[in-house]
Structure 1
Amino acid sequence: MTSTTHAAGRTSRAAWLLAAFLAVLAATAFDASAHAVAEGDKGYIQEVTGIQLLPFVYLGAKHMVTGYDHILFLFGVIFFLYRLKDIGIYVSLFALGHSTTMLLGVYFGIGMNAFVIDAIIGLSVVYKALDNLGAFQSWFGVQPNTKTATLVFGFFHGFGLSTKILEYNISPEGLVPNLLAFNVGVEVGQLLALAAILIAMGFWRRSPSFVRHAYTANVAIMTAGFVLIGYQLTGLFVS
Protein backbone atom coordinates (compact mmCIF):
# COMPACT_ATOMS: atom_id res chain seq x y z
CA MET A 1 0.00 0.00 0.00
CA THR A 2 1.44 3.41 -1.00
CA SER A 3 1.95 6.37 1.31
CA THR A 4 -0.78 8.20 -0.62
CA THR A 5 -3.22 5.39 0.14
CA HIS A 6 -2.22 5.47 3.81
CA ALA A 7 -2.77 9.23 3.93
CA ALA A 8 -6.16 8.90 2.26
CA GLY A 9 -7.12 6.24 4.78
CA ARG A 10 -6.12 8.44 7.70
CA THR A 11 -8.01 11.47 6.40
CA SER A 12 -11.04 9.35 5.65
CA ARG A 13 -11.02 8.00 9.19
CA ALA A 14 -10.67 11.55 10.54
CA ALA A 15 -13.69 12.64 8.49
CA TRP A 16 -15.74 9.72 9.79
CA LEU A 17 -14.69 10.46 13.37
CA LEU A 18 -15.82 14.06 12.99
CA ALA A 19 -19.11 12.95 11.48
CA ALA A 20 -19.68 10.50 14.33
CA PHE A 21 -18.77 13.22 16.83
CA LEU A 22 -21.39 15.55 15.37
CA ALA A 23 -24.00 12.80 15.33
CA VAL A 24 -23.39 12.03 19.01
CA LEU A 25 -23.67 15.72 19.89
CA ALA A 26 -26.92 16.04 17.99
CA ALA A 27 -28.36 12.96 19.68
CA THR A 28 -27.22 14.15 23.11
CA ALA A 29 -29.15 17.37 22.69
CA PHE A 30 -32.40 15.39 22.92
CA ASP A 31 -31.81 14.24 26.48
CA ALA A 32 -29.49 16.72 28.18
CA SER A 33 -29.58 20.34 29.12
CA ALA A 34 -26.71 22.25 27.56
CA HIS A 35 -25.35 23.37 30.92
CA ALA A 36 -26.39 20.46 33.06
CA VAL A 37 -24.08 19.49 35.89
CA ALA A 38 -23.64 15.90 37.03
CA GLU A 39 -25.49 15.09 40.25
CA GLY A 40 -22.28 14.55 42.20
CA ASP A 41 -20.84 17.86 41.00
CA LYS A 42 -24.12 19.61 41.70
CA GLY A 43 -24.09 18.37 45.29
CA TYR A 44 -20.49 19.48 45.71
CA ILE A 45 -21.24 23.01 44.43
CA GLN A 46 -24.19 23.29 46.79
CA GLU A 47 -22.36 22.04 49.87
CA VAL A 48 -18.78 23.31 49.57
CA THR A 49 -17.66 26.38 51.49
CA GLY A 50 -14.41 28.28 51.54
CA ILE A 51 -11.71 28.46 48.87
CA GLN A 52 -11.46 25.22 46.88
CA LEU A 53 -9.29 26.09 43.88
CA LEU A 54 -8.32 22.71 42.42
CA PRO A 55 -11.83 21.20 42.62
CA PHE A 56 -13.28 24.21 40.82
CA VAL A 57 -10.57 24.10 38.16
CA TYR A 58 -11.55 20.46 37.59
CA LEU A 59 -15.27 21.31 37.45
CA GLY A 60 -14.64 24.09 34.94
CA ALA A 61 -12.55 21.88 32.67
CA LYS A 62 -15.08 19.07 32.89
CA HIS A 63 -17.91 21.42 32.00
CA MET A 64 -16.18 22.67 28.87
CA VAL A 65 -15.01 19.26 27.64
CA THR A 66 -18.52 17.79 28.08
CA GLY A 67 -20.39 20.96 27.06
CA TYR A 68 -21.54 20.00 23.58
CA ASP A 69 -23.05 23.44 22.94
CA HIS A 70 -19.68 25.14 23.43
CA ILE A 71 -17.87 22.51 21.37
CA LEU A 72 -20.34 22.75 18.48
CA PHE A 73 -20.03 26.52 18.39
CA LEU A 74 -16.22 26.41 18.53
CA PHE A 75 -16.18 23.73 15.85
CA GLY A 76 -18.23 26.00 13.62
CA VAL A 77 -16.04 29.01 14.41
CA ILE A 78 -12.77 27.33 13.44
CA PHE A 79 -14.17 25.24 10.59
CA PHE A 80 -12.71 27.44 7.85
CA LEU A 81 -9.87 28.99 9.87
CA TYR A 82 -6.46 27.71 8.81
CA ARG A 83 -3.96 30.04 10.47
CA LEU A 84 -3.24 29.61 14.17
CA LYS A 85 -3.26 33.39 14.56
CA ASP A 86 -6.86 33.59 13.34
CA ILE A 87 -7.91 30.64 15.47
CA GLY A 88 -6.33 32.28 18.50
CA ILE A 89 -8.17 35.57 17.88
CA TYR A 90 -11.60 33.97 17.54
CA VAL A 91 -11.16 31.57 20.44
CA SER A 92 -9.92 34.44 22.61
CA LEU A 93 -12.97 36.54 21.72
CA PHE A 94 -15.26 33.65 22.65
CA ALA A 95 -13.34 33.09 25.90
CA LEU A 96 -13.53 36.81 26.75
CA GLY A 97 -17.30 36.89 26.25
CA HIS A 98 -17.90 33.59 28.04
CA SER A 99 -15.71 34.50 31.02
CA THR A 100 -17.09 38.01 31.44
CA THR A 101 -20.76 37.13 31.75
CA MET A 102 -20.10 33.95 33.72
CA LEU A 103 -18.08 35.79 36.38
CA LEU A 104 -20.23 38.92 36.54
CA GLY A 105 -23.48 36.97 36.32
CA VAL A 106 -22.67 34.82 39.34
CA TYR A 107 -21.01 37.59 41.36
CA PHE A 108 -23.92 40.02 40.94
CA GLY A 109 -26.61 37.35 40.92
CA ILE A 110 -27.74 38.09 37.36
CA GLY A 111 -29.51 35.11 35.83
CA MET A 112 -31.83 34.39 32.94
CA ASN A 113 -34.45 31.78 32.26
CA ALA A 114 -32.38 28.63 31.66
CA PHE A 115 -34.55 27.46 28.76
CA VAL A 116 -34.40 30.83 27.00
CA ILE A 117 -30.64 31.26 27.34
CA ASP A 118 -29.95 27.70 26.17
CA ALA A 119 -32.24 28.25 23.18
CA ILE A 120 -30.18 31.35 22.30
CA ILE A 121 -27.04 29.26 22.61
CA GLY A 122 -28.59 26.78 20.18
CA LEU A 123 -29.25 29.75 17.89
CA SER A 124 -25.56 30.63 18.04
CA VAL A 125 -24.73 27.18 16.69
CA VAL A 126 -27.28 27.58 13.87
CA TYR A 127 -25.94 31.06 13.08
CA LYS A 128 -22.35 29.86 12.76
CA ALA A 129 -23.29 26.95 10.52
CA LEU A 130 -25.31 29.27 8.26
CA ASP A 131 -22.40 31.70 8.19
CA ASN A 132 -20.05 28.89 7.12
CA LEU A 133 -22.50 27.95 4.37
CA GLY A 134 -22.51 31.53 3.06
CA ALA A 135 -26.23 31.86 3.71
CA PHE A 136 -26.20 35.50 4.80
CA GLN A 137 -24.34 36.63 1.70
CA SER A 138 -26.62 34.56 -0.50
CA TRP A 139 -29.89 35.59 1.15
CA PHE A 140 -29.27 39.20 2.15
CA GLY A 141 -26.08 40.23 0.35
CA VAL A 142 -24.54 41.09 3.72
CA GLN A 143 -21.75 39.44 5.68
CA PRO A 144 -22.10 39.91 9.47
CA ASN A 145 -18.95 40.83 11.37
CA THR A 146 -17.77 37.39 12.44
CA LYS A 147 -15.53 38.62 15.26
CA THR A 148 -18.31 40.69 16.81
CA ALA A 149 -20.75 37.79 16.51
CA THR A 150 -18.28 35.42 18.21
CA LEU A 151 -17.85 37.85 21.12
CA VAL A 152 -21.60 38.49 21.49
CA PHE A 153 -22.51 34.82 21.42
CA GLY A 154 -19.69 34.23 23.91
CA PHE A 155 -21.58 36.56 26.28
CA PHE A 156 -24.69 34.39 25.93
CA HIS A 157 -22.73 31.17 26.51
CA GLY A 158 -21.37 32.68 29.72
CA PHE A 159 -24.86 33.70 30.87
CA GLY A 160 -25.99 30.12 30.31
CA LEU A 161 -23.37 28.88 32.73
CA SER A 162 -23.91 31.63 35.32
CA THR A 163 -27.64 30.90 35.30
CA LYS A 164 -27.00 27.25 36.08
CA ILE A 165 -24.47 28.02 38.83
CA LEU A 166 -26.89 30.46 40.47
CA GLU A 167 -29.53 27.72 40.57
CA TYR A 168 -27.19 25.70 42.79
CA ASN A 169 -26.84 28.51 45.37
CA ILE A 170 -23.06 28.49 45.46
CA SER A 171 -21.64 29.60 48.80
CA PRO A 172 -20.56 33.27 49.01
CA GLU A 173 -17.59 32.18 51.13
CA GLY A 174 -14.61 32.00 48.80
CA LEU A 175 -16.88 32.89 45.87
CA VAL A 176 -14.46 35.04 43.85
CA PRO A 177 -11.42 32.72 44.05
CA ASN A 178 -13.61 29.71 43.32
CA LEU A 179 -15.19 31.42 40.31
CA LEU A 180 -11.79 32.44 38.99
CA ALA A 181 -10.55 28.86 39.45
CA PHE A 182 -13.64 27.56 37.66
CA ASN A 183 -12.97 29.95 34.80
CA VAL A 184 -9.36 28.79 34.56
CA GLY A 185 -10.68 25.25 34.31
CA VAL A 186 -13.10 26.29 31.58
CA GLU A 187 -10.23 27.72 29.54
CA VAL A 188 -8.12 24.58 30.10
CA GLY A 189 -11.05 22.45 28.97
CA GLN A 190 -11.55 24.68 25.96
CA LEU A 191 -7.92 24.24 24.94
CA LEU A 192 -8.16 20.45 25.31
CA ALA A 193 -11.34 20.29 23.21
CA LEU A 194 -9.86 22.66 20.65
CA ALA A 195 -6.68 20.61 20.37
CA ALA A 196 -8.66 17.43 19.68
CA ILE A 197 -10.76 19.18 17.03
CA LEU A 198 -7.72 20.74 15.34
CA ILE A 199 -5.88 17.41 15.18
CA ALA A 200 -8.85 15.73 13.48
CA MET A 201 -9.44 18.74 11.23
CA GLY A 202 -5.77 18.79 10.27
CA PHE A 203 -5.99 15.25 8.89
CA TRP A 204 -9.35 15.86 7.26
CA ARG A 205 -8.31 19.08 5.51
CA ARG A 206 -5.50 17.24 3.71
CA SER A 207 -8.07 15.06 1.99
CA PRO A 208 -10.26 15.94 -1.01
CA SER A 209 -13.18 14.72 1.10
CA PHE A 210 -12.98 17.94 3.15
CA VAL A 211 -14.26 20.00 0.23
CA ARG A 212 -16.86 17.37 -0.64
CA HIS A 213 -18.23 17.02 2.88
CA ALA A 214 -17.80 20.53 4.31
CA TYR A 215 -21.36 21.43 3.33
CA THR A 216 -22.77 18.26 4.92
CA ALA A 217 -20.78 18.81 8.11
CA ASN A 218 -22.16 22.33 8.52
CA VAL A 219 -25.69 21.12 7.84
CA ALA A 220 -25.12 18.59 10.65
CA ILE A 221 -23.92 21.41 12.95
CA MET A 222 -26.98 23.47 12.04
CA THR A 223 -29.28 20.50 12.65
CA ALA A 224 -27.80 19.96 16.11
CA GLY A 225 -28.38 23.65 16.85
CA PHE A 226 -32.02 23.44 15.79
CA VAL A 227 -32.46 20.31 17.93
CA LEU A 228 -31.11 22.20 20.92
CA ILE A 229 -33.42 25.16 20.24
CA GLY A 230 -36.44 22.88 19.91
CA TYR A 231 -35.57 20.96 23.06
CA GLN A 232 -35.20 24.12 25.13
CA LEU A 233 -38.33 25.83 23.77
CA THR A 234 -40.32 22.69 24.44
CA GLY A 235 -39.04 22.72 28.01
CA LEU A 236 -39.98 26.38 28.32
CA PHE A 237 -43.58 25.84 27.25
CA VAL A 238 -44.21 22.69 29.26
CA SER A 239 -42.46 23.78 32.46
Structure 2
Amino acid sequence: MLNNILNLSKLVFAILLISLSIDVLAHGVDDDTRVFLEQNVGVQFFPFMYIGAKHMFTGYDHILFLVGVIFFLYRSRDVLLYVSMFTIGHSITLFWGVLGDIHINPYLIDAIIGFSVVYKGFDNLDGFNRVFGKQPSTKVAVLIFGLFHGFGLATKIQEFGLASQGLVTNLIAFNIGVELGQFMALIFIVIAINFWRNLSSFQRFSSITNTMLMSAGLMLMGLQMTGYYLM
Protein backbone atom coordinates (compact mmCIF):
# COMPACT_ATOMS: atom_id res chain seq x y z
CA MET A 1 0.00 0.00 0.00
CA LEU A 2 2.80 2.40 0.95
CA ASN A 3 4.67 1.69 -2.29
CA ASN A 4 1.50 2.37 -4.29
CA ILE A 5 1.02 5.72 -2.58
CA LEU A 6 4.65 6.69 -3.20
CA ASN A 7 4.53 5.64 -6.83
CA LEU A 8 1.30 7.59 -7.37
CA SER A 9 2.79 10.68 -5.71
CA LYS A 10 5.87 10.51 -7.91
CA LEU A 11 3.74 10.07 -11.03
CA VAL A 12 1.54 13.06 -10.20
CA PHE A 13 4.62 15.15 -9.40
CA ALA A 14 6.30 14.18 -12.67
CA ILE A 15 3.18 14.95 -14.72
CA LEU A 16 2.92 18.35 -13.05
CA LEU A 17 6.51 19.25 -13.84
CA ILE A 18 6.27 18.01 -17.42
CA SER A 19 3.11 20.03 -17.98
CA LEU A 20 4.92 23.12 -16.76
CA SER A 21 8.12 22.53 -18.73
CA ILE A 22 7.16 24.76 -21.65
CA ASP A 23 6.60 27.69 -19.31
CA VAL A 24 9.90 26.97 -17.57
CA LEU A 25 11.84 27.20 -20.81
CA ALA A 26 9.93 30.40 -21.66
CA HIS A 27 10.77 31.77 -18.19
CA GLY A 28 7.16 31.93 -17.10
CA VAL A 29 6.10 34.98 -19.14
CA ASP A 30 2.69 34.40 -20.70
CA ASP A 31 1.58 36.04 -23.93
CA ASP A 32 -0.70 38.65 -22.32
CA THR A 33 2.07 39.80 -19.99
CA ARG A 34 4.55 39.85 -22.84
CA VAL A 35 2.29 42.06 -24.97
CA PHE A 36 1.65 44.45 -22.09
CA LEU A 37 5.33 44.84 -21.20
CA GLU A 38 6.34 45.36 -24.82
CA GLN A 39 3.71 48.08 -25.27
CA ASN A 40 4.15 49.73 -21.87
CA VAL A 41 4.80 53.46 -21.79
CA GLY A 42 5.24 55.52 -18.62
CA VAL A 43 4.12 54.68 -15.11
CA GLN A 44 1.78 51.67 -14.87
CA PHE A 45 1.77 51.06 -11.12
CA PHE A 46 -1.10 48.62 -10.61
CA PRO A 47 -0.50 46.55 -13.77
CA PHE A 48 3.13 46.05 -12.76
CA MET A 49 2.08 45.18 -9.23
CA TYR A 50 -0.33 42.59 -10.62
CA ILE A 51 2.36 41.13 -12.90
CA GLY A 52 4.79 40.86 -9.96
CA ALA A 53 2.20 39.13 -7.77
CA LYS A 54 1.17 36.78 -10.57
CA HIS A 55 4.74 35.83 -11.36
CA MET A 56 5.65 35.07 -7.75
CA PHE A 57 2.41 33.27 -6.92
CA THR A 58 2.67 31.04 -10.00
CA GLY A 59 6.49 30.85 -10.05
CA TYR A 60 6.87 27.25 -8.94
CA ASP A 61 10.69 27.48 -8.78
CA HIS A 62 10.36 30.25 -6.18
CA ILE A 63 7.52 28.41 -4.42
CA LEU A 64 9.45 25.13 -4.23
CA PHE A 65 12.37 26.95 -2.64
CA LEU A 66 10.08 28.58 -0.06
CA VAL A 67 8.53 25.19 0.72
CA GLY A 68 12.01 23.91 1.49
CA VAL A 69 12.88 26.97 3.56
CA ILE A 70 9.88 26.74 5.91
CA PHE A 71 9.45 22.95 5.90
CA PHE A 72 11.01 22.47 9.34
CA LEU A 73 10.29 25.93 10.77
CA TYR A 74 7.83 25.58 13.63
CA ARG A 75 7.79 29.10 15.05
CA SER A 76 6.20 32.09 13.34
CA ARG A 77 9.16 34.34 14.12
CA ASP A 78 11.52 31.88 12.40
CA VAL A 79 9.29 31.83 9.31
CA LEU A 80 9.27 35.64 9.32
CA LEU A 81 13.06 35.80 9.74
CA TYR A 82 13.89 33.41 6.91
CA VAL A 83 11.32 34.83 4.53
CA SER A 84 12.65 38.32 5.31
CA MET A 85 16.19 37.18 4.43
CA PHE A 86 14.90 35.82 1.14
CA THR A 87 12.92 39.00 0.48
CA ILE A 88 15.88 41.28 1.18
CA GLY A 89 18.04 39.24 -1.17
CA HIS A 90 15.70 39.18 -4.15
CA SER A 91 14.69 42.83 -3.71
CA ILE A 92 18.33 43.99 -3.83
CA THR A 93 19.21 42.17 -7.02
CA LEU A 94 15.90 42.90 -8.75
CA PHE A 95 16.63 46.64 -8.60
CA TRP A 96 20.39 46.26 -9.04
CA GLY A 97 20.00 44.03 -12.06
CA VAL A 98 17.49 46.23 -13.89
CA LEU A 99 18.70 49.71 -12.93
CA GLY A 100 22.38 48.71 -13.14
CA ASP A 101 21.75 47.07 -16.53
CA ILE A 102 23.41 43.84 -15.35
CA HIS A 103 22.67 41.12 -17.87
CA ILE A 104 22.87 37.46 -16.89
CA ASN A 105 21.83 34.64 -19.16
CA PRO A 106 18.26 33.81 -18.04
CA TYR A 107 18.71 30.07 -18.55
CA LEU A 108 21.80 30.01 -16.34
CA ILE A 109 20.23 32.08 -13.58
CA ASP A 110 17.10 29.92 -13.64
CA ALA A 111 19.31 26.83 -13.46
CA ILE A 112 20.89 28.29 -10.31
CA ILE A 113 17.39 28.90 -8.93
CA GLY A 114 16.66 25.23 -9.63
CA PHE A 115 19.87 24.37 -7.77
CA SER A 116 18.63 26.40 -4.80
CA VAL A 117 15.70 23.98 -4.56
CA VAL A 118 18.11 21.02 -4.65
CA TYR A 119 20.27 22.67 -1.98
CA LYS A 120 17.36 23.27 0.39
CA GLY A 121 16.02 19.74 0.02
CA PHE A 122 19.53 18.36 0.70
CA ASP A 123 19.86 20.69 3.69
CA ASN A 124 16.50 19.53 5.09
CA LEU A 125 17.70 15.93 4.83
CA ASP A 126 20.69 16.89 7.04
CA GLY A 127 22.86 16.07 4.05
CA PHE A 128 25.66 18.47 4.92
CA ASN A 129 26.24 17.00 8.36
CA ARG A 130 25.98 13.46 7.06
CA VAL A 131 28.21 13.90 4.01
CA PHE A 132 30.56 16.73 4.96
CA GLY A 133 30.31 16.73 8.75
CA LYS A 134 29.53 20.45 8.83
CA GLN A 135 26.34 22.49 8.53
CA PRO A 136 26.59 25.79 6.57
CA SER A 137 24.63 28.78 7.86
CA THR A 138 21.05 28.29 6.70
CA LYS A 139 20.27 32.00 7.06
CA VAL A 140 23.23 33.02 4.89
CA ALA A 141 22.28 30.40 2.29
CA VAL A 142 18.70 31.72 2.11
CA LEU A 143 19.99 35.28 1.69
CA ILE A 144 22.47 34.29 -1.03
CA PHE A 145 19.91 32.28 -2.96
CA GLY A 146 17.50 35.19 -2.53
CA LEU A 147 20.03 37.30 -4.44
CA PHE A 148 19.98 34.80 -7.32
CA HIS A 149 16.18 34.65 -7.29
CA GLY A 150 16.19 38.45 -7.57
CA PHE A 151 18.44 38.31 -10.63
CA GLY A 152 15.97 35.78 -12.03
CA LEU A 153 13.18 38.31 -11.56
CA ALA A 154 15.35 41.00 -13.15
CA THR A 155 15.87 38.92 -16.28
CA LYS A 156 12.10 38.77 -16.75
CA ILE A 157 11.93 42.58 -16.81
CA GLN A 158 15.08 43.05 -18.92
CA GLU A 159 13.75 40.87 -21.73
CA PHE A 160 11.45 43.67 -22.83
CA GLY A 161 13.79 46.65 -22.85
CA LEU A 162 11.41 48.89 -20.90
CA ALA A 163 11.63 52.64 -21.39
CA SER A 164 13.42 54.61 -18.67
CA GLN A 165 10.35 56.80 -18.19
CA GLY A 166 8.60 55.57 -15.05
CA LEU A 167 10.96 52.60 -14.74
CA VAL A 168 11.79 53.07 -11.05
CA THR A 169 8.13 53.45 -10.08
CA ASN A 170 7.17 50.44 -12.16
CA LEU A 171 9.94 48.39 -10.55
CA ILE A 172 8.72 49.39 -7.09
CA ALA A 173 5.21 48.33 -8.07
CA PHE A 174 6.52 45.06 -9.50
CA ASN A 175 8.46 44.34 -6.31
CA ILE A 176 5.43 45.12 -4.14
CA GLY A 177 3.48 42.68 -6.28
CA VAL A 178 6.21 40.06 -5.84
CA GLU A 179 5.92 40.41 -2.05
CA LEU A 180 2.13 40.16 -2.22
CA GLY A 181 2.34 37.07 -4.39
CA GLN A 182 4.92 35.58 -2.06
CA PHE A 183 2.70 36.33 0.94
CA MET A 184 -0.35 34.71 -0.67
CA ALA A 185 1.65 31.61 -1.60
CA LEU A 186 3.09 31.39 1.92
CA ILE A 187 -0.38 31.45 3.48
CA PHE A 188 -1.31 28.27 1.59
CA ILE A 189 2.07 26.65 2.21
CA VAL A 190 2.09 27.37 5.95
CA ILE A 191 -1.50 26.20 6.41
CA ALA A 192 -0.83 22.98 4.48
CA ILE A 193 2.42 22.17 6.30
CA ASN A 194 0.99 23.01 9.74
CA PHE A 195 -1.97 20.74 9.04
CA TRP A 196 0.34 17.95 7.89
CA ARG A 197 2.51 18.30 10.99
CA ASN A 198 -0.46 17.25 13.11
CA LEU A 199 -0.61 13.92 11.27
CA SER A 200 1.58 10.95 12.09
CA SER A 201 2.63 10.74 8.44
CA PHE A 202 4.65 13.98 8.61
CA GLN A 203 7.79 12.47 10.13
CA ARG A 204 7.45 9.29 8.06
CA PHE A 205 7.18 11.13 4.76
CA SER A 206 9.33 14.22 5.43
CA SER A 207 12.45 12.55 4.00
CA ILE A 208 10.57 11.38 0.91
CA THR A 209 9.09 14.85 0.41
CA ASN A 210 12.48 16.55 0.55
CA THR A 211 13.96 13.92 -1.74
CA MET A 212 11.19 14.74 -4.21
CA LEU A 213 11.97 18.43 -3.70
CA MET A 214 15.57 17.74 -4.71
CA SER A 215 14.34 15.77 -7.72
CA ALA A 216 12.14 18.69 -8.80
CA GLY A 217 15.11 21.06 -8.51
CA LEU A 218 17.26 18.74 -10.61
CA MET A 219 14.54 18.59 -13.27
CA LEU A 220 14.31 22.38 -13.33
CA MET A 221 18.09 22.59 -13.67
CA GLY A 222 18.04 20.09 -16.51
CA LEU A 223 15.28 21.94 -18.37
CA GLN A 224 17.09 25.26 -18.08
CA MET A 225 20.45 23.86 -19.12
CA THR A 226 18.75 22.19 -22.09
CA GLY A 227 17.31 25.59 -23.02
CA TYR A 228 20.76 27.16 -22.63
CA TYR A 229 22.45 24.71 -25.00
CA LEU A 230 19.61 24.85 -27.53
CA MET A 231 19.27 28.65 -27.58
Q: Using structure 2 for the length normalisation, give the TM-score.
A: 0.91
Shift of residue 96, structure 1, vs aligned partner? 0.6
Structure 1 residues 83 and 91, CA gap change in structure 2 (3 angstroms): same
What's the counterpart of residue 119 of structure 1? 111
- Preserved CA contact (<8 Å) 1:23 1:220: no
Matches within 5 A, 1:42-191: 42-191=34-183
**1:188-217: CA deviation from partner (whole Å, max 9, x where unpaired):** 000000000011111100000000110111
Contact 1:29 1:231 in 2 (8 A): no
Report if the CA contact (8 A) 1:97-1:152 is conserved.
yes
Q: Is structure 2 residue 195 aligned with structure 1 residue 203?
A: yes
The count of aligned residue pairs is 222
CA contact 1:46–1:171 (8 Å) conserved in 2: no
Question: Aligned AA for 2:205?
Answer: H
Structure 2: any 5+ residue segments left out of the alignment?
A: 1-8
**CA separation of 1:22/1:150 partners in 2, compared to 1, >3 Å: closer, same or farther?**
farther
**Shift in Å at residue 167 of structure 1?**
1.1
Identify the residue that residue 7 of structure 1 maps to in structure 2.
none
- Aligned 8 A contact 1:53 1:177 in 2: yes
Q: Is 2:17 the counterpart of 1:30?
A: no
Amino acid of the residue matched to residue 206 of structure 2?
Answer: A
SS of equivalent to 2:24 = coil
1:103 CA drift (Å): 1.1
The answer to whether 1:232 aligns with 2:227 is no
Q: Cα RMSD between the aligned structures?
A: 1.7
Question: Aligned pair in 2 of structure 1 residues 177, 22: CA closer, same or farther (>3 Å)?
Answer: farther
For 1:108, the aligned partner's letter is: G
Q: Which residue of 2 aligns with 1:11?
A: none
Superposition deviation, residue 115 in structure 1: 1.0
Distance (whole Å) between structure 2 residues aligned to residue 23 and residue 152 of structure 1: 28
- Contact residue 26 and residue 223 of structure 1 kept, 8 A: no
Q: Is the 8 A contact 2:23 2:29 kept in 1?
A: no
Q: Distance in 2 between matches of 1:25 and 1:111?
A: 31
- Name stretches of at least 5 consecutive residues in structure 1 with no aligned partner: 1-17
Work out the CA distance in 1 between the residues paired with 2:114 and 2:125.
17
Aligned 8 A contact 2:118 2:215 in 1: yes
Paired letter, 1:82: Y
Query: Against the structure 1 CA distance between its residues 25 and 97, is the aligned structure 2 distance closer, same or farther, given a 3 Å change threshold?
Result: farther
Identical pairs, percent: 50
Q: Deviations over 1:60-90 (max 9, x none)?
A: 1000011000000000000000100000000
Work out whether 1:217 is the aligned partner of 2:190. no
Q: Are the aligned partners of 1:25 and 1:68 in contact in 2 as well (CA < 8 Å)?
A: no
